[in-house]
A and B are shown apart, each in its own frame.
Chain A
Amino acid sequence: MKSRSLVSINDYSKDEILNILDLAAGFEASPEPHLLNGKVVATLFYEPSTRTRLSFESAVSRLGGKIVGFSDSSSSSVTKGESLKDTIMTVSNYSDLIVMRHPLEGSALYASEVAKVPVINAGDGANQHPTQTLLDLYSIKKTQGSLENLNIFLVGDLKYGRTVHSLLMAMSHFKNTTFNFISPQELQMPDEYKLYLDNLGLKYYEHSDFTDIISRADIIYMTRVQRERFSDPMEYEKVKNIYVLRYSMLENTKDNLRILHPLPRVNEIHPDVDKSDKAYYFTQALNGVYTRQAIMASILGLK
């Protein structure tokens, strides 16, 4: 693949996605501690996201690369009023690759336009977070053996959750994906995504509860239902417990079922689920390291 930025999951075709997943499997099977020798990766985190930053930094370190950057804009020249363009132009001189997290939407595309080096979007506001999507796909493929013929349950905040939207777009590349959307009325999947699936002829079903249908799931992707999203606090009180996954609910589920979560979890997965072999969210975070190694190696033209 030619050297270029990763701004949106829609930048990658199905083949390019599969290529990244294969590379990630390669890094998992045999670590390459010297691949990034002599390379400098800049991690510019304009808002804190400890998990994503550590995952990237771990990925770089395990490949032998060096890291420069900041983890909070208050400790950078941003507080002096420097524009994003100036920061990116400058940091381009110091690094071979920029990983950026920024609270403003579209900042990643803009950074990729002005940077002399490739940019990886590590989250631009509520817009895109493509490396999360790729690690989700890697986790699904690894646990299910394939990305085809799967029944994916997306649970929780489907209205504002960017991870579920990106995952839906990415999974729509694969044959016979069935989606089950489980959310409170106020947080349903937006129409544009349903229309998108309609146009592709992919099946989806909407539910407000999933206890009766959980036995059909191959993947349950949990997200948090946040109190702030509700205009009426009474509504939140009514629904808050419906979207909590508990160990007892897993009794009649498929053997191959795996539970994913982008983390951090708050209360949407009860800690008693952790003991189940079907709880996969911590391994999913580990998969993030392999996937980010694959993305960086591919973008830098090293693989």
Chain B
Amino acid sequence: MKEVKHLSVSGIENGTVIDHIPAKNLFKVISILALEKFDNQITFGTNLESKKLGKKAIIKVAGKTFVDDDVNKIALVAPEAKLNIIKDYKVVEKYNVVVPEEIVGIAKCVNPKCITNHEQIKTKFTVIPGDEIALKCIYCEKITDQEHLNIM
């Protein structure tokens, strides 16, 4: 009998697998994609071993593919994330997230004196690329780094 590869998180028939999420940022990815509002079947695995990331997380969303713009937002906290599109239990497409140039309305500006923390304003940042992405607020011009990144 053929040996079945053991999966830590059970496979899905159709949908999207988001892999290579740093374990510590799983819940940030969940809130960026607003997965809590989905009705689809979703499975998560976290603190899985990863050669690249040490500990990684994985999300499997059944019956759903994401629009590029939506999914690229997760590059903020998971720049190495890889998406696998699954059909009939097989990977039919694989791609990496692309770091966007601008981030609108996901993150909070770290500067307590920034106008966006005092008025009803959608935050807007330009992305400063690097090993760890940082965000520059277009309003107060201050930089929010990974350590202080707060997802709304």
A residues near B, CB below 8 A?
Answer: 8, 83-85, 102-107, 109-110, 124-128
Contacts and interface: CB of A to CB of B under 8 A. Distances in A.
Contact of B113 (A83, A84, A104, A110): A104
The dominant DSSP class at the B interface is loop
Given A83-B119, A110-B119, 8 more contacts: A83-B120, A85-B120, A104-B118, A105-B113, A105-B139, A105-B140, A109-B138, A110-B121
Given A104-B113, A106-B114, A125-B113, A84 B140 contact: no
18 contacts: A84-B115, A85-B120, A102-B115, A104-B113, A104-B115, A104-B140, A105-B115, A105-B139, A105-B140, A105-B141, A105-B142, A106-B115, A106-B140, A107-B115, A107-B139, A110-B119, A110-B139, A127-B141
Contact of B116 (A85, A103, A106, A126): A106
Given A84-B115, A125-B113, A126-B113, A106 B137 contact: yes
A127 B140 CA distance: 6
B25 interface: no
Interface residues of B, number: 16
Contacts, number: 50
B65 interface: no
A105 B114 CA distance: 5
Contacts of A124: 115, 140
Interface in B78-116: 109, 111, 113-116
Contacts of A8: 141
The 4 A-B pairs with the shortest beta carbon distances in the complex, nearest first, are: A106-B139, A105-B140, A106-B140, A106-B115
Contacts of B137: 106
Contacts of A85: 119-120
A25 to B, nearest CB: 30
Of A103, A104, A109, A126, most buried by chain B (CB within 10 Å of CB) is A104
Of B114, B115, B141, most buried by chain A (CB within 10 Å of CB) is B115
A104 B139 CA distance: 10
Contacts of B116: 106, 110
Contacts of B138: 106, 109
Nearest to B116: A106
B129 to A, nearest CB: 16
A272 to B, nearest CB: 38
Nearest to A103: B113
Interface string B114-145: 11101111000000000000000111111000
A8 B116 CA distance: 17
Contacts of B115: 84, 102, 104-107, 109-110, 124
Contact of B139 (A83, A103, A109, A126): A109
Contacts of A105: 111, 113-115, 139-142
Nearest to A8: B141
B59 to A, nearest CB: 34
A187 to B, nearest CB: 19
A84 B119 contact: yes
Nearest to B118: A104
B140 A125 contact: yes
A203 to B, nearest CB: 25
B141 A106 contact: yes
Contacts of B118: 84, 104
A125 to B, nearest CB: 5
A278 B119 CA distance: 46
Contacts of A102: 115
